[in-house]
Amino acid sequence: MRSTVATIDLDALAWNYHVLRARTQGVRMLAMVKANAYGHGMVGVSRVLQHLGVDMLGTAFVSEARVLRDAGITIPIIVLTQVEPHEADEAIALNLITVVGDVSQANALAQAARARNTTAEVHLYIDTGMSRDGVRPHDAVRTAELLQSTEGLRCTGICTHFATADDPHNPFMKEQLSTFERVVEQCAAAGCSFATVHAANTGALWQSSETHFSLVRPGLALYGYSSAEAHVATLRPVMRVSSNVVSLRRAWPGDTVSYGRRYILADEATIATVPIGYGDGYMRALTGSASCLIRGKRYPVVGTICMDEIMVNVGSDPVELGDEVVLLGTQALADRTGAIDLEELATWAGTIPYEITTAVSARVPRLFTGELASVAQSSSL
């Protein structure tokens, strides 16, 4: 295994799952595992979540759901982007729940289901303000009636997505919530009821229980992060990214480091090379701003970040070949403890935490640790 590795703490994942369960008592949970479980390893994480008792899993695409089914995942899976017509038959074959946001998609699913002499379970997707996918509120009742009267379809749910739930001070989420509630009421008045109503992503889940309805959709909170307003719940980071020092060289004032000669040494120092780069998801945008941990102490990442390597200025400290380097997470030693937080890393890169973890590429091995590691690695569930 490469020295560069993403360690996935499944004890932390289980802890976060139970924290979220306590927060949403009596409400079913759809755990978001799209984008390789936000970079944490979709199959292993999904196996653990199924073992813990999550009600459903959420993917973005049919192809992701296929991977889960092939891995032995049997619980309901919802595909939360609109399925393209050519994917309809596979969605039916894999027994997936799909969201529907237009009539042509509904027709493709119904036709595929009828060809298999079965029904396609769908949820009506309402666009309350994202302007991305879904039916506009004024078309909701008409579409709900169509879905519930179409042979081959079984419309069991209705949902929406909040645009600003990660910002507790933005009033737009309340506007979206009001619109969605009104649509649900209008559908009910027209005789269209739904067993499952869902809207709450991670941010909304913390903000208001009014958003919980009958199902919540936590994403990044499962992996240890949420909004600052959710500090009352102690979530535990699940991912830790580390590597090792593979080269040390002494450099002198005036020497330059890496592509473009962006970094010029002002003083004599040792430059440590670490085998991780933007090809692993350690973004080039971190150039000039990132730090890492070696022996519990912070050191600056210097020079342009390369595809496969970074360079670190360790001054004249006694760093040795093979020393562990932590790029994300905690490094706890006998005499000191340091940490690189996900929010901090995202700030350095000028992005959001979601992009940092999902960017960790497939060539970085995921090492599952904790009491549930055997569940993550097992193909017999």
What is the rounded CA–CA span in Å between residue 345 and residue 290? 7
- Can 34 be counted among the known catalytic residues? yes
Alpha carbon 170 to its chain centroid, in Å, reads 23
Can you state the percent helix, strand and coil of the chain, rounding each to 5? 35, 25, 40
- Can 17 be counted among the known catalytic residues? no
What is the rounded CA–CA span in Å between residue 136 and residue 142? 11
What is the rounded CA–CA span in Å between residue 233 and residue 214? 21
Contact indicator for 348, 286 with CB cutoff of 8 Å = yes
Strands 247-251, 196-200: pairing is: unpaired
Structure tokens that stand for 52 in this block: 């813990």
For 273-304, b/e burial (b = at least 16 CB within 10 A) is: bbbbbbebbbbeebbeebbbbbbbbebbbbbb
DSSP letters along 275-316, please? S--GGGT--GGGTTT-EEEETTEEEEEES---SS-EEEE-TT
Structure tokens that stand for 78 in this block: 């919802």
Q: Which CB contacts under 8 angstroms, 24+ apart, belong to 33-37?
A: 33/57, 33/58, 33/59, 33/64, 33/68, 34/58, 34/59, 34/60, 34/61, 34/64, 34/80, 35/60, 35/358, 36/358, 36/362, 37/223
Structure tokens that stand for 80 in this block: 């939360």
Structure tokens that stand for 222 in this block: 């499962």
What is the rounded CA–CA span in Å between residue 65 and residue 62? 5
What is the rounded CA–CA span in Å between residue 43 and residue 79? 16
Radius of gyration of the chain (CA): 24
CB atoms within 10 A of CB 373: 17
- Of 38, 125, 174, 259, which is the active-site residue? 259
- Of 34, 38, 282, 354, which is the active-site residue? 34
Structure tokens that stand for 55 in this block: 């009600």
Catalytic center residues: 34, 259
